[in-house]
Amino acid sequence: QVQLVESGGGLVQAGGSLRLSCAASGRTFSVYTGGWFRQAPGKEREFVAAISRSGGSTYYSDSVKGRFTISRDNAKNTVYLQMNSLKPEDTAVYYCAAQGTSYVPTLPGRYDYWGQGTQVTVSS
């Protein structure tokens, strides 16, 4: 089992940047694929980005491709989400997730472990 804790959210102006971190504890994190999802008020949780166990493969939603970068440091048991050129529509609670197979899913139901979320607010 693994526990996930997000950090790095906050308030930023449009065009600005933030870096989210997801620190994992428990089992060795390198056995888990990692994902970031977000949920805005009144909307369903949506896929943002995912990364394979080694970090060699990454996947992005069309809405963030070219602006966000997912990465991981298995020595630090941490997954990151670098967010650049932020837009007001990026405002949401961002969640880190993990699941323990080599598959890299984009559906939230495929993930077994979730953090508590961190708020990102982008002002216009």
pLDDT given at position 39? 98
Would you state the pLDDT for residue 102?
87
SS3 content of the chain, % helix, strand, coil (to 5): 5, 50, 40
Model confidence at 27: pLDDT above 90:
no
pLDDT of residue 28: 81
Parallel, antiparallel or unpaired: strands 46-51 and 33-39: antiparallel
- In this model, does residue 17 exceed pLDDT 80? yes
Instruction: Tell me what pLDDT residue 29 has.
Output: 85
Q: If we measure between CA atoms, which residue out of 16, 49, 5 comes closest to residue 121? A: 16
Please report, rounded to a whole number, the percentage of residues in the chain having pLDDT higher than 70: 100
Mean pLDDT for the stretch of residues 92-102: 95
pLDDT tens for residues 57-85?
999 999 999 999 999 999 999 999 999 99
Rounded Cα distance, 43 and 26, in Å: 31
DSSP summary character for residue 40:
-
Q: How far is CA 101 from CA 32, 41, 73, in A?
A: 6, 31, 18
Residue 26 has a pLDDT of 83
